Amino acid sequence: AQTVTQSQPEMSVQEAETVTLSCTYDTSESDYYLFWYKQPPSRQMILVIRQEAYKQQNATENRFSVNFQKAAKSFSLKISDSQLGDAAMYFCASRDTSGSRLTFGEGTQLTVNP
């Protein structure tokens, strides 16, 4: 079974600044995928970024990047040049390669201050 933990219920950042959201996970699988999802007030789940565990290189998507530490089972999300539209609930999630079931963390509510 996989578990995902987000220890920061709430975070805030000033517009244009950088913020890092933390996530740790546990799995017995040797290969798996990790995700960050964004859920804005509309509550539509939006995929922000994905990391394949077998890849050592950290994934990046424009202003979003991850710090994937496989040995430490850590998967943090860095948002650079924060924008007001980044305000949302962010969920970290994991999935093994044998199925498509996702395991979600508790979520981090991000506030972006103008």
Partner 1 sequence: GAVVSQHPSWVICKSGTSVKIECRSLDFQATTMFWYRQFPKQSLMLMATSNEGSKATYEQGVEKDKFLINHASLTLSTLTVTSAHPEDSSFYICSGGRQGVIQDEQYFGPGTRLTVT
Site residues (vs partner 1, CB under 8 A): 33, 35, 42-45, 47, 50, 52, 89, 91, 95, 97, 100-102, 104-107, 109
| Shortest distance, position 54 Cβ to partner 1, whole Å | 11
Q: For the chain, what is the HEC assignment?
A: CCEEECCCCEEEEECCCCEEECCEEECCCCCEEEEEEEECCCCCCEEEEEEECCCCCCCEECCEEEEEECCCCEEEEEECCCCHHHCEEEEEEEEECCCCCCEECCCEEEEEEC
Report the residue number, 49 or 112, with the smaller CB distance to partner 1: 49
Report the residue number, 92 or 112, with the smaller CB distance to partner 1: 92
Report the residue number, 79 or 105, with the smaller CB distance to partner 1: 105
